[in-house]
Structure 1
Amino acid sequence: MTGELSPIDKAKFVAAKKSVEFVEDGMRVGLGTGSTAAWMVRCLGELVREDGLKIRGVPTSTRTAALAREVGIEVISLDEARWLDLTIDGADEFDGEFNLIKGGGGALLQEKIVATASDRMIVISDVSKEVENLGAFPLPVEVIPFGWQTSKALVEEMLDSMDVLGQSSTLRMNGDSPFFTDEGNHIIDLHLTRIGNPRQLAMVLNQIPGVVENGLFIDICDTVIVGFGDGRVQVRDINDDSVEEDKLEFVDSDNLFTDLSE
């Protein structure tokens, strides 16, 4: 099965496979949302079923919760867990200071809450997500439905004073209807091209009435695991400024790859 994967999917898989080595018996683990995180959940499920790993997972979306239950991971709420040992999630972009853009899958609010309630956050990614400056990927901003057009206008007006190249924004759609998050909110995607000061932008966005949260994750990520299409992985840790490299061999597993349609 792995022979049929594209280089990008192989890179996502090896990053996810490497990340579960950091999960220990008895941990409470935040389970991210997205295509790379789905690989991780599958890998964790395999460890639970075949190696007897005992963990409790706190998912960041309804679809991650469904996948976790499907592969045999015990799912609990964040209120039940109260605090997490580790969160593993993907990212749409990351820079050299481990600042992230997340929310391409629409789960940024739960993802940020879970990540900040963890002792450690590990981001898993293929190398294509690494950028010098954030902003090529549209920045998601979650807003409540009431007055969303006013919130959108206020965001666009605020962008005039920010260090960004683009200033356009669009309401995320699901077919012909607005997209709704798990919390019943809308998402406005900001097309900024380049974000010169992510920290400032994140703070100012959250001061706008109607804005619930934004997809800039600042000072949250501790470790980035970067996968490559040839099976190489780099583990980069911001706390000790270290980079470790490994190479994983691909082993076909019907249980792992069956029905994975990310």
Structure 2
Amino acid sequence: MSGELSPIDKAKFVAAKRAAEFVQSGMRVGLGTGSTAAWLVRCLGEKVREEGLRFRGVPTSTRTAELAREVGIEVISLDEAGWLDLTIDGADEFDSELNLIKGGGGALLQEKIVATASDEMIVIADAAKHVETLGAFPLPVEVIPFGWTASQALLEEALVTMDVLGRKTTLRMNGERPYITDEGNYILDLHLSRIGNARQLAMLVNQIPGVVENGLFIDICDRVIIGYGDGRVETRDINAGTVSEERVEFVEDDNLFRDI
């Protein structure tokens, strides 16, 4: 039931519900990964079942693909889609220029490929994800398992020349074993505290041997929809330079909450 949701979950839900309105029948839509993106998939599933919405979704992880199929969304691969009309995803951080840190859920590689193969990217988030400067959230970097310690050492050496506050790097773990991405890779989390020049850092990190991709999404997001616990949503459009606010209504017996 919606009344049992925490304020943060309510914020995620209203942002997701507002973003779902951008999806139209016939579209090819990238579906993000993470807790906020999961709300989006549920909202879109409801529109499929109750409103007859018909679109094809390209998930950015096996978790999202499983949920999408469960709620009745037609799932295809990016290769089958060719190009996407829209991608909707969450973010771990975003700044005033709508640059992002993503990858907390471990799907940054597929997320970045899908987002850049789209005409538009919409990010859905709660207000706590907005920061003045990126970097408080650890920056995920996906690396191949072979020689990962060498890649880590090279990353730490490169960070000495960067405008960052911290330089600690850690291997992401899943219990006692390294976390494995859908592509069979490892993730190094960079604890930087503050990133002075995100664009420069993103370019440098991707030049390190063994690095597959990093979680900085620069000039990729077009619009961010911010949810609040009281039902308000704020939409920021970086291309139009506009900010709008409205309220999303939802009812206590909404079917979306039956299994929450």
Could you state the TM-score of these two structures normalised by the residue count of structure 1? 0.98
Distance 1:147 1:34 in 2: 29
Q: Partner amino acid for 2:55? A: I
Distance 2:64 2:258 in 1: 16
Match of 2:214 in 1: 214
Q: Partner amino acid for 1:78? A: L
Question: What is the root-mean-square deviation in Å for CA atoms of aligned residues?
Answer: 0.7
Q: Identical aligned pairs, as a percentage?
A: 78
Q: Secondary structure at 2:125's aligned position in 1?
A: strand
Residues 29 and 253 of structure 1: CA distance in aligned 2, closer, same or farther (over 3 Å): farther
Q: Secondary structure at 2:21's aligned position in 1?
A: helix
Distance 2:93 2:159 in 1: 20
Distance 1:100 1:56 in 2: 25
Match of 2:60 in 1: 60
C-alpha offsets along residues 50-92 of structure 1, whole Å, 9 cap, x if unaligned? 1000000000000000000000000000000000000000000
Count of paired positions = 260
1:78-227 matches, within 5 Å, as 78-227=78-227
Distance 1:252 1:149 in 2: 50
Deviation at 1:182, TM superposition (A): 0.1
Deviation at 1:113, TM superposition (A): 0.2
Could you state the TM-score of these two structures normalised by the residue count of structure 2? 0.99
Q: Secondary structure at 1:187's aligned position in 2?
A: strand
1:14 is the counterpart of 2:14: yes
1:219-238 matches, within 5 Å, as 219-238=219-238
Q: Which runs of no fewer than 5 residues in structure 2 stay unpaired?
A: none
Deviation at 1:249, TM superposition (A): 1.6
Q: Partner amino acid for 1:6? A: S
C-alpha offsets along residues 121-172 of structure 1, whole Å, 9 cap, x if unaligned? 0000000000000000000000000000000000000000000000000000
Q: Secondary structure at 2:58's aligned position in 1?
A: strand
C-alpha offsets along residues 201-226 of structure 1, whole Å, 9 cap, x if unaligned? 00000000000000000000000000
